[in-house]
Amino acid sequence: MINKASVFLLLLILLWSRIGWASTEPHLAGARSAGMGGITVTLSDVWAAANNIAGITNLPKPVLGTYAENRFNLKAFSTVSLQGVYPLQKYGAVGLDFSRFGDKLYNEQHLGVGFAHKLGPVSLGIKTTVLQLHLEGLGNKRAVAFSFGGQSEVIPKLIFGAHIFNLTQVRVASFQDERFPTVMTAGLAYKAGQKVLLSVETAKELEQAANIRAGLEYYIIDKLALRSGFTTANQKITAGLGYKAKALQVDFAMGGHTVLGFSNHISISFQIE
């Protein structure tokens, strides 16, 4: 059995291997995205409130969603989040996002609010996120990060998306100038008919190698979608499915890491009529 000390040590090793001791990059939201290899910037759904704020402009009615993720069957690597989008008709849309990762030894919390507006074929959005890190024995660290995103159907059926998280590179601590990561993401999605969506994107943290993600979504029937994808950074293969019935959508996904094992993702969203 893995004790808390071992889990904490593993957590620190994983975080250190990425960006020092802080992992507060924007956690993706929604099992739809997770099933497609982590694709985020080209999707338009309630999860865009977390993934790319520009994507909320295509939602015609208010939507609420909740998402849960468990990495490698360890409680310390669990994420829960809540998202909401409220369209303001011709004035744009407002998105809210809250997420929590970790346990009482180490955890991260994000609380964000964003606004997006559509100008012709182009959607632009900006978001403010309050970030909090908690490390047992060392207390809390809070900061405010700003994000900016865009989406556009550049030609019929071809969508371009881009997003940058933490424009101002806010600090975690003055020691060794530790900062929350700045992450830039850009990608393309192609709607191959009514049932198929193909997408690829690349995400780049400053001073880290680029991470390439690719995903496929296929509706085998009107209400049931199958998804698959992969990401190069951690050599992860993903798969998932989604079911949509009127105002309700339920999505599930699994991802396999070559060393650490499987992660599970589930999300539920509801459109308010």
Lowest mean pLDDT, pick from 103-107, 227-231, 252-256: 103-107
Domain residues for 106? 25-271
Element (H, E) at 239: strand 236-245
In this structure, is residue 3 part of a structural domain? Answer: no
Taking alpha carbons only, the member of 116, 167, 143 closest to residue 22 is 143
Average pLDDT over residues 184-209: 91
2 pLDDT higher than 70:
no
In this structure, is residue 15 part of a structural domain? Answer: no
In this structure, is residue 267 part of a structural domain? Answer: yes
Enumerate long-range contacts of 239-242, CB under 8 Å, 24 or more apart.
239/35, 240/31, 240/32, 240/34, 240/35, 240/36, 240/265, 241/35, 242/31, 242/32, 242/35
In this structure, is residue 7 part of a structural domain? Answer: no
In this structure, is residue 14 part of a structural domain? Answer: no
Q: pLDDT by residue (tens digit) across 67-125?
A: 999 887 777 788 999 999 999 988 899 999 999 998 888 888 999 999 999 998 999 99
* pTM assigned to the model: 0.84
Q: Greater confidence, 13 or 171?
A: 171
If one counts the domains in the chain, the total is 1
Provide, for the chain, the percentages of residues in helix, strand and coil under a 3-state DSSP scheme, each rounded to the nearest 5. 15, 55, 30
In this structure, is residue 18 part of a structural domain? Answer: no
Interatomic CA distance for residues 273 and 62, integer angstroms: 8
In this structure, is residue 215 part of a structural domain? Answer: yes
In this structure, is residue 150 part of a structural domain? Answer: yes
Q: pLDDT by residue (tens digit) across 125-150?
A: 999 999 888 887 777 888 899 999 99
The CATH number of the domain holding residue 101 is 2.40.160.60
Interatomic CA distance for residues 156 and 56, integer angstroms: 19
Interatomic CA distance for residues 272 and 126, integer angstroms: 24
Alpha helices in 77-147 (DSSP H): none
